């Protein structure tokens, strides 16, 4: 969802507009190169640089797609992007309304109009849609030299910078950024969003350390206190859980460490008896920390204003560097219902 492809461009008008804008930005570089060439001709060696072909941009886009398809420890980002929906690039925040329940039913023999009529009450909420951008630069002399070497260095630059923007997106989805503010809404991630249920695992809370707990204690937690949290928030679906490597090492231990032999790992018992769809490891979390959510865009989703795109900034002078910008616009949206229930959880302590 975060990378341009034919299906997205065809089905979503917002994505099509973003794609057309990207094509115009790429073409403007060539127009500018032609203007410089016409102005200075062949008087300077610096002006002998070639125009950027469609084949080059096709290779750049292929690199972007490949990097985003690789896991690289950011499976959480991939999962959230799979819940993405487009939004106009003109929107700096994704706003939505939360409605209350309504409809008081009266039982009578007459069927008269009730004395008290009800209506839905609304509340408003929203989340910022920040722009993520990075870029790389090559001096004009490097560019001329690389033309005879098939631009391999530029491909390396593209791969490294797409990986960097992906890493930064993953950090934002998890922790947000307090500096991203618009219309009173602050950029927040799963761990600190106002609509995330905060679960205290410390001694003052549920009092369990999942990095050292015994198999029996671990299963009892997920079938007891954690299951009650799900019930309190009307969660009937199974949740997807992302845990730190410290927790995962403990979950992957054989259950036979408990009293009496039990075949299989602790994780297998949690998946069998707990209301857990899957347990996944992410290096973004450490210690006694996990997050969980119902994988449904009604409750959590990314809002994508612009998939990742790459274009070159037009040069104004013959000796200007060749600068390339990689950017995207995407935000995270987590919702509660009118009564404050949420299907997203952050557990640590």
Q: pLDDT digit string (tens) for 141-182?
A: 776 666 555 556 777 788 888 888 888 888 999 999 999 988
Collapsing DSSP to helix, strand or coil, 142 comes out as helix
pLDDT recorded at residue 295 = 94
User: What single DSSP character describes residue 82?
Assistant: T
CA 99 – CA 97 distance, rounded (Å)? 6
pLDDT of residue 234 exceeding 80: yes
Of the listed ranges 76-90, 138-152, 188-202, 268-282, the least confidently predicted one is: 138-152
CA 171 – CA 176 distance, rounded (Å)? 7
More confident residue, 345 or 6: 345
Mean confidence (pLDDT) of the chain: 80
Token pair of 219 as six digits: 């299963």
Token pair of 262 as six digits: 């039990």
pLDDT of residue 308 exceeding 70: yes
Say which CATH architecture domain 6-96+125-189+298-334 belongs to. Answer: 2-Layer Sandwich (3.30)
> If residue 266 lies in a helix (H) or strand (E), which one and from where to where?
helix 266-273
Region at 264 (left for phi over 0; alpha for psi -120 to 50; beta for the rest) = left
> If residue 276 lies in a helix (H) or strand (E), which one and from where to where?
strand 276-281
CA 114 – CA 274 distance, rounded (Å)? 46
What residue spans define the domains of the chain?
6-96+125-189+298-334, 202-287
CA 189 – CA 170 distance, rounded (Å)? 9
Q: Any idea how long the chain is? A: 349
């Amino acid at each position: 969802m975060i990378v341009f492809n034919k299906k997205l461009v065809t089905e979503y008008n917002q994505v099509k507009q973003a794609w057309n804008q990207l094509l115009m930005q790429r073409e403007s570089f060539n127009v500018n190169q032609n203007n410089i060439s016409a102005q200075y001709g062949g008087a300077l060696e610096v002006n002998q640089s070639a125009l950027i072909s469609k084949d080059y941009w096709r290779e750049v886009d292929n690199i972007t797609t490949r990097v985003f398809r690789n896991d690289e420890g950011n499976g959480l980002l991939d999962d959230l992007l799979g819940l993405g929906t487009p939004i106009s690039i003109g929107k700096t925040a994704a706003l939505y309304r939360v409605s209350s329940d309504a409809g008081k039913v009266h039982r009578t023999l007459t069927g008269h109009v009730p004395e008290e009529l009800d209506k839905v009450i609304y509340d408003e909420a929203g989340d910022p849609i920040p722009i993520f951008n990075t870029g790389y630069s090559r001096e004009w002399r490097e560019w001329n030299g690389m033309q005879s070497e098939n631009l391999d260095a530029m491909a390396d630059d593209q791969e490294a910078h797409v990986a960097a923007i992906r890493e930064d997106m993953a950090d934002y989805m998890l922790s947000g950024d307090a500096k991203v503010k618009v219309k009173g809404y602050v950029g927040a991630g799963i761990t600190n969003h106002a609509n995330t249920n905060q679960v205290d695992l410390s001694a003052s809370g549920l009092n369990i350390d999942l990095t050292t707990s015994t198999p029996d204690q671990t299963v009892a937690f997920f079938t007891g206190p954690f299951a009650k949290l799900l019930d309190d928030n009307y969660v009937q679906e199974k949740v997807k859980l992302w845990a730190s490597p410290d927790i995962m090492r403990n979950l992957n231990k054989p259950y036979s460490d408990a009293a009496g032999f039990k075949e299989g790992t602790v994780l297998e018992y949690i998946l069998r008896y707990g209301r857990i769809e899957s347990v996944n490891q992410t290096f973004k979390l450490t210690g006694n920390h996990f997050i969980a959510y119902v994988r449904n865009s009604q409750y959590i989703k990314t809002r994508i204003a612009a998939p990742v795109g790459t274009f070159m900034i037009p040069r104004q002078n013959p000796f200007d560097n060749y600068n390339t910008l990689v950017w995207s616009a995407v935000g995270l949206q987590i919702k509660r219902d009118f009564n404050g229930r949420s299907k997203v959880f952050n557990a640590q302590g």
